[in-house]
Amino acid sequence: MSTATELKDLPASARRAISRLEHQVNHLSQQLQTLHHMLEHSGLAHSAALPEATPPTSHTRGRTAGGVAGAQARGEAAKVGWIQVGELVPAKTLADSWGLSPQALGPAAERQEIFAMTHKRMRYYPAEFLALERSVVAHINQTLGELPDMEKLLFWKRPHGALGGLTITQTLLKHNGGGLDKVLSLAQAWTQRNSH
Specify whether the CB–CB gap between 187 and 140 falls below 8 A. yes
Burial 118-132, CB ≥16 within 10 A → b, else e: eeeeebbbbbbbbeb
Q: Where among 38, 66, 84 does a domain terminate? A: 84
Note the pLDDT of residue 46: 43
Query: What gap in Å lies between CA 35 and CA 90, rounded to an integer?
Result: 19
**What is the DSSP secondary structure assignment for residue 31, as one 8-state letter?**
H
- What span, in angstroms and rounded, lies between the C-alpha atoms of 79 and 99? 25
Is-contact 102 91, C-beta < 8 A?
A: yes
Domain shared by 68 and 35, yes or no: yes
Given this model, what pLDDT does residue 66 score?
55
Residue 74: what pLDDT? 78
User: Do both 136 and 79 map to the same domain?
Assistant: no
Could you give the 3-state DSSP secondary structure of residue 63?
Answer: coil
Q: Give per-10-residue mean pLDDT for the chain (196 aa).
A: 59 68 57 57 45 42 56 79 93 96 94 94 95 96 94 94 94 85 96 83
Contact (Cβ atoms closer than 8 angstroms) between residue 56 and residue 29: yes
Cα angle 181, 82, 123 (rounded to 5 degrees) comes to: 80
Total number of domains constituting the chain: 2
The pLDDT of residue 59 is 43
Say yes or no: 185 and 142 in one domain. Answer: yes
What distance in Å separates the CA atoms of residue 145 and residue 20, rounded to the nearest whole number? 23
Q: Which of 62, 84, 106 is the last residue of a domain?
A: 84
pTM metric for this prediction: 0.67
Range of the domain at 24: 3-84
Question: DSSP secondary structure string, 151-183?
Answer: HHHHHHHS-BGGGTTB-HHHHHHHTTTTTHHHH
Of 49, 84, 119, which residue is a domain's last? 84
The secondary structure of residue 123, as a DSSP letter, is E
Give me the pLDDT at residue 54, please. 41
